Structure 1
Amino acid sequence: MTYKRPESVLVVLYNEHSQVLVMQRNDDPDFWQSVTGTIEAGESPIAAAYREVGEETGVNLSPQSGDIVDCQHVNQYEIRKEWQHRYPPDNFVNTEYVFVTQIPSDSRIILTEHSAYEWLDKPEALARVWSPSNRNAILAFVPEPK
């Protein structure tokens, strides 16, 4: 078995109305989140952010455009017990790099790893997402509506 690397990205997507895209995980219907994913060996966090947005939403952004903003924020948190078997046995902490990007509300979202998605106002998104690091990123990096 190949273990996951304990390094990941969190990419919060929001639209021109400051609504946040949240997605429901296939493996846990109570777990809603922004785009997340493991950084592959030899991959930079920003490259992983672009790749994960494309893989999870079907929205392909170009690294040359600079659409995804590095928030210069890194989280470390304990890996969920339910997911520990996916990681090396002696690793219990994940390091998560935070990014944000604005996409149009009419972007075509194609889910590959989630069963549903919604555009939610900030307070609703904060109440819906499961992880504290996701809530903190929404609070800190999604602008207030104009």
Structure 2
Amino acid sequence: MTARYRIPKSALTVVYNQTGQVLVMQRNDDPEFWQSVTGTLEPDEKPRDTAMREVFEETGIDIAKRGYRLQDCQQVNTYEIRDMWKHRYPPNTPFNTEYVFAVEVADNEVVTLTEHSAYVWLDKTAAMQKVWSETNRQAIELYVPDAM
């Protein structure tokens, strides 16, 4: 049996509500690692489809069904894969390509976690301080509107 490696491409989706609070979730495998929704592209899957799927899988929020508008931020990041995760990718794969999206949801949107230990809704500044990765911080800064 051949090992199935992840494709080194992912979608990062910043989820925020109408009052500008950002959803930030704690990873199961690293309690210090807080992040927005993120996930690996499946074979033959477009980044937008990955973003929609991952938001649903990780939070229970069905973007299409709820009538939310997924914003393709037209930003692509490249970052080095953490050593602890390199075994998930083909040998000698040092970098991941990340496609950035954002979606505004209702203030009362219900979140049902399936892949994370905890979640919080934080204001933009606090969310930027809480997330682990620089690309996640940058996405929150650029694509979450400032509170009125």
TM tier relative to shorter chain: over 0.9
Shift of 1:106: 1.2
Residue aligning to 1:105: 107
Q: 1:30 to 1:64 in 2, by over 3 A?
A: closer
One-letter amino acid of the counterpart of residue 79, structure 1: I
Residue aligning to 2:132: 130
SS for the counterpart of 2:117 is strand
The CA distance in 2 between the partners of 1:96 and 1:11, in whole Å, is 10
Q: Identify the match of residue 121 of structure 2 among 101, 119, 122.
A: 119
Q: Identify the match of residue 7 of structure 1 among 9, 20, 38.
A: 9
1:60 aligns with 2:62: yes
Q: Deviations over 1:88-136 (max 9, x none)?
A: 1121100000000001121110000001000000111011000000000
SS for the counterpart of 2:26 is strand
Residue aligning to 1:35: 37
Q: 1:63 to 1:49 in 2, by over 3 A?
A: farther
For structure 2, list consecutive stretches of 5 or more residues without a partner in the other structure.
Answer: none
The CA distance in 1 between the partners of 2:58 and 2:96, in whole Å, is 20
SS for the counterpart of 1:62 is helix
The CA distance in 2 between the partners of 1:118 and 1:98, in whole Å, is 21
Shift of 1:61: 1.1
Per the normalisation by structure 2, the TM-score is: 0.95
- Runs of 4+ aligned residues of structure 1 deviating over 2 Å after TM superposition are 63-66
Q: In angstroms, what is the RMSD of aligned CA positions?
A: 1.3
Shift of 1:63: 8.1
